[in-house]
Amino acid sequence: MSNFCKSGCDGALRRYAMLTSSPTCKVCLGRCASRVLHWPSRHVTAERQFAGARAVSQSRTRCFARRVLATTRLADFFRASQKYIAAFAVLLVLIPAQAATESYGMPKLDIGKGGHCVADPQWMRVNHMKVLFQQRDETVRLGIRDGKYSLKNCVECHASLRDNSVIGRADSFCEGCHRYEAVRIDCFECHSSKRSSALAQQESK
């Protein structure tokens, strides 16, 4: 992640930032308004973070547009045909706007049975650890066992149909993203990573 432009610029600029091993982008010089939103504070609520992530993807495209306009300055005769350039820029803006949230080099996962998740998948990517922590305490301390953000339920739906597990392979539902983000996952040192219905079947055999 270190070779991302912190101002929220696009891929070509990422490469540039990487070459100069500078933490900020040399082209937009960190003037991009998205900077604050790109690294949200730890303490803002989950909902606000989600809104922030959306704003980042929008401002990322704004920054991209600025770069396109900046490059045109190199060739003066383009000024005459600014209308066309603007149309081209709009096209360029639209393409990454769609791609920014979904396929930003994200790992391909084996989502098991899948189906309708308990919440919006993008929201879950950002907030699953918070809701799991919350429910974990309610279950252990208060004995509330029907909450919708249950780790057991995650595993039940999303364990791979091949090995009934959410960890162990590069495309496993939990491990896939956690490897990509280099975040250690220690839930499954204690909790079962296997689909419980499959375990029950094994036992009855």
Partner 1 sequence: MSDTDVQRRQFLKTSVGAAAVAIAPGMLLFDMAHGKSEPVSSKVRWGMLIDTAKCATGCDDCVQACNKENGLSGGLSPTDSQWMRRVDLRDMRNGRELSLPMMCQHCAEPPCADVCPTGASFKRADGIVLVDKHICIGCRYCMMACPYKARSFVHEPLHDQKPDVPRGKGTVESCTMCVHRVDKGQQPACAEACPNKSILFGNLNDPESEISKKIRTVASTQIRADLGLNTGIRYQGI
Binding mask 90-129 for partner 1 (x = CB under 8 A): ----------------------------------------
Is 138 near partner 1 (CB under 8 A)?
A: yes
Q: With CB under 8 A, what is the number of residues at the site for partner 1? A: 20
**Binder of partner 1 out of 146, 182, 184, 204 (CB under 8 A):** 146
Min dist. Cβ of residue 191 to partner 1 (A): 4
**3 state SS for 81-114:** HHHHHHHHHHHHHHHHHHHHHHCCCCCCCCCCCC
Residue 138 or 163 having the CB closest to partner 1: 138
**Binder of partner 1 out of 142, 183, 184, 205 (CB under 8 A):** 142
Is 130 near partner 1 (CB under 8 A)?
A: no
Buried b (16+ CB within 10 A) or exposed e, 61-99: bebbebbbeeebeeeeeeeeeeeebeeebeebbeeeeee
